[in-house]
Amino acid sequence: MIGSDEEQGRDLSRLVVSRAGRLVATGDAHEPYQVAGPGGEVVEPVSVFLRDLLASGKSEPTLRSYLVDLLRWWRFLGAVGVEWDRASRAEARDFSCWIQLTAKQRLQTSRPRKGRLSSRAAGAPNPVTGKPASGDGYAPSTVAHSGAAPVL
């Protein structure tokens, strides 16, 4: 039915996505990373996906990249009140729209990281990589990469 909530989408301008959970480096070659929930519990659907990626021979940096995206997706689903196994195309669409609207959050990991949200203007070169900064929003490549998370 046209006009339903699913057709219209959510009001993403007011959506608050928690920073609950974190990426944990395990030091185990058979499971180098885990996504942990707010209480430290392993997010099992993400671990299942990680095992599939490991079986296909993906590198550790690739695994980490996908898990960062899946952590972001898991947090989004929590904010909209949808269980991982109940997510639909509507959530995938809204996630894609939300990530384009939101400011970046620093990833919480088990290892301390220096730095914080960039205050450089979009396009200013990163002093370490030389790549142009996307400002406080997610770069188009991150948006595109994260768009794959809901269909993984």
Count Cβ neighbours within 10 Å for each residue of 84-99 and write b for 16 or more, e otherwise. eeebeebbbebbeebb
Rounded Cα distance between 118 and 106, Å, is 10
**Model pLDDT, residue 42:** 94
Cα–Cα distance list, 114 to 107, 108, 143 (Å): 11, 11, 24
Predicted TM-score of the model (pTM): 0.67
Name the residue ranges covered by the structural domains of the chain.
Answer: 19-151
**Model pLDDT, residue 145:** 54
Per the CB < 8 A criterion, the answer to whether 99 and 71 are in contact is no
**Model pLDDT, residue 13:** 86
Per the CB < 8 A criterion, the answer to whether 46 and 77 are in contact is no
Instruction: Give the pair of three-digit tokens for residue 134.
Output: 């996307």
Q: How does pLDDT run along the chain (152 residues), one tens digit per residue?
A: 344 445 566 889 889 999 999 999 999 988 999 999 999 999 998 899 899 989 999 899 999 999 999 999 999 999 999 998 999 999 999 998 898 887 665 544 444 444 334 445 556 776 666 666 655 555 655 655 555 555 55
